[in-house]
């Protein structure tokens, strides 16, 4: 019996066999060279023998010879044009804060027109008949589903192209028959811009979802890639609460805001959540993060299908999901900001894992009891969003109108004290405090009058600083105010007002005084609930005052 050892071929021999250059091939090297095209030349050997020794003959290799075109050919002209245009571009050193569309960030490789060279090579490219009437198609539908800011950018780009092609800068009149062909031309230009826009977004999207087209793939991919990371960020912060903490962290403050626990309750220790309850919330967040991390659980649906399938039969819903079902994304989802899109996905992931109870408006979530919040999807979504980004800031208001006799005056005054300022504190519901509603739970116009109520006056925060020195004057926390009115009839909410008064820094050891000057006012003309929210935020302090009063501008109406 004989034993044969198989030798593993060397990497050098494998490469030489692949390219037909193996030992013994030197016998035929001349025939190989004779079959090579004229644009290929033999590489000169680096050996002193000049290529005659066996080693050089066994390492025959070729390389292409560079082909030099004639000067001034079409390629060189195109490069010259690009270089000339680049040289003449203005040197904009200032950084613009304008939101760029995706088609401004990457080259649109899918557009049909091609480069100038390609157009020169194909002069028979058919031209669009500008005289034919315009009929809205798929691009028009996708245009309507875009966010308003993106639509404005697309309109601006379409206007620019239209002006370049026609030289027309005036506003077109839809009622003028002479403008009808021009309007059709503009709409076709807009459709082209929309197609290029979505092609660019399709190029950027890393994932593809069932039912989603180009732009939807991009935005859903953007939100779905971030949502689980935001949830894991909250899980990490909550895990720190499983160990005893000397101070109240922002994570615990946010947890107390959306998962209230009465002091002395069974699941609390001195008003703070027990580790068992925190672990329960963490476990649910982990299941939500796992669902959010799976792109196969998402799909896009049409507006019609959205209205047919979701529980409210609302075609304008953002998304919907049931326990263990696919998360369906509706067209209006893409009209939200990125943060709101992430919040929507987190909310639906809570439904996906079975949290289907206590479905109420977002404004009412903070009033839920602990047992209700534990089964409410929006409580988990707001917990994650506010822990990651902080509470939302309302928009700035318009300048207040001058006070006239048309208003029924309702001056308000309140003093709010925070007795335990701690680093990272979000203080709510404790300490020495006076609510506006303690003395005036209802503001009503004078009897038999029907006038709007105008709120104006002073709201003062006193932040006790005996145990914590205030930061330098230039680093005083920012103060913000938000007013939310809810109509008593249709329960619609809105009308935010935001002021930014400067806190009054007196001296270390004394309270920080935050006064809202008389230019702070708010006028209401309907019966309803008025919620005042004031917060003080900085690197070392987060304080909140939240109160609701009832307003009755119309004394004939019972609330």
- Residue-wise pLDDT for 249-306, tens only, equals 778 878 888 887 655 455 455 457 788 889 999 999 999 999 999 989 999 998 889 9
Neighbours of 249 (CB within 10 A): 19
- Dist. CA 260–CA 280, nearest whole Å: 15
pLDDT at 228: 93
pLDDT at 192: 80
CA angle 496, 498, 501 (to 5 degrees): 160
Rounded-to-10 torsion of CA 326, 227, 385, 288: 50
CA 142 – CA 168 distance, rounded (Å): 27
Full-model pTM: 0.44
Mean pLDDT by 10 residues, the chain (559 residues): 39 42 38 40 53 57 51 64 57 38 34 37 41 57 70 81 83 81 84 70 65 78 89 91 74 83 53 82 94 92 89 89 92 87 94 84 81 90 87 53 59 49 38 59 70 64 46 54 73 59 53 53 75 62 65 58
- How far is the C-alpha of 71 from the C-alpha of 68, rounded, in Å? 9
- Sequence ranges of the domains in the chain: 138-204, 214-262+272-389, 413-553
Are the folds of 214-262+272-389 and 413-553 the same? Answer: no
Fold of 413-553: Immunoglobulin-like (2.60.40)
Helix (H, G, I), strand (E, B) or coil at 306: helix
In CATH, the number for domain 214-262+272-389 is 3.40.390.10
Alpha helical stretches, state H, 293-337: 303-309
CB neighbour list of residue 119: distance below 8 Å, 6 or more residues apart: 113, 125
Q: What pairs with residue 522 in β-bridges?
A: 455
The answer for residues whose C-beta is within 8 angstroms of residue 402's C-beta and 6 or more apart is: none
């Amino acid at each position: 019996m004989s034993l044969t050892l198989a030798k593993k071929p060397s990497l050098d021999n494998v490469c030489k066999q692949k390219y037909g250059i193996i030992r013994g091939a030197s016998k035929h090297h001349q025939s190989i060279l004779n079959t090579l095209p004229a644009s290929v030349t033999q590489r000169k050997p680096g050996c002193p023998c000049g290529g005659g020794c066996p080693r050089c003959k066994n390492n025959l290799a070729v390389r292409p010879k560079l082909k030099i075109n004639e000067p001034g050919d079409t390629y060189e002209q195109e490069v010259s044009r690009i270089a000339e245009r680049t040289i003449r571009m203005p040197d904009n050193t200032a950084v613009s804060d304008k939101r760029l569309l995706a088609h401004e960030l990457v080259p649109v490789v899918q557009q049909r027109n091609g480069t100038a060279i390609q157009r020169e090579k194909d002069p028979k490219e058919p031209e669009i008949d500008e005289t034919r009437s315009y009929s809205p198609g798929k691009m028009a539908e996708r245009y309507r589903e875009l966010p308003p800011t993106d639509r404005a950018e697309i309109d601006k780009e379409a206007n620019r192209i239209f002006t370049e092609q026609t030289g027309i800068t005036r506003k077109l009149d839809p009622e003028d028959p002479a403008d009808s062909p021009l309007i059709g031309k503009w709409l076709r230009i807009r459709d082209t811009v929309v197609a290029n826009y979505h092609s660019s977004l399709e190029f950027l999207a890393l994932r593809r979802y069932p039912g989603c087209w180009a732009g939807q793939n991009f935005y859903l991919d953007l939100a779905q890639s971030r949502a689980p990371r935001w949830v894991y960020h909250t899980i990490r912060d909550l895990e720190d609460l499983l160990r005893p903490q000397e101070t109240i962290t922002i994570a615990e403050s946010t947890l107390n805001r959306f998962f209230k626990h009465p002091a002395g309750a069974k699941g609390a220790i001195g008003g703070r959540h027990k580790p068992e309850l925190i672990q329960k919330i963490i476990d649910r967040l982990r299941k939500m993060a796992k669902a959010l991390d799976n792109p196969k659980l998402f799909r896009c649906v049409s507006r019609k299908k959205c209205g047919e399938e979701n529980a409210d039969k609302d075609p304008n819903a953002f998304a919907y999901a049931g326990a263990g079902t696919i998360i369906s994304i509706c067209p209006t989802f893409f009209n939200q900001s990125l943060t709101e899109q992430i919040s929507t996905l987190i909310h639906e992931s809570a439904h996906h894992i079975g949290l289907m109870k206590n479905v109420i408006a977002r404004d009412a979530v903070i009033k839920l009891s602990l047992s209700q919040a534990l089964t409410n999807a929006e409580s988990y979504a707001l917990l994650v969003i506010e822990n990651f980004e902080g509470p939302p800031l309302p928009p700035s208001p318009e300048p207040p109108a001058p006070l006239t006799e048309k208003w029924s005056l309702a001056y308000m005054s309140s003093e709010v004290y925070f007795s335990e300022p701690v680093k990272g504190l979000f203080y709510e519901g404790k300490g020495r405090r006076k609510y506006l509603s303690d003395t005036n739970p209802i503001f009503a116009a004078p009897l038999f009058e029907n006038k709007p109520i105008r709120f104006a006056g002073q709201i003062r925060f006193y932040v006790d600083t005996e145990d914590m020195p205030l930061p330098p004057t230039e680093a005083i926390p920012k103060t913000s105010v938000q007013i939310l009115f809810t109509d008593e009839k249709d329960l619609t909410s809105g009308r935010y007002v935001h002021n930014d008064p400067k806190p009054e820094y007196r001296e270390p050891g004394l309270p920080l005084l935050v006064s809202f000057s008389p230019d702070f006012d708010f006028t209401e003309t309907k019966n309803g609930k008025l919620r005042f929210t004031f917060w003080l935020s900085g690197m070392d302090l987060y304080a909140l005052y939240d109160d609701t009063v009832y307003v009755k501008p119309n004394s004939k109406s019972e609330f």
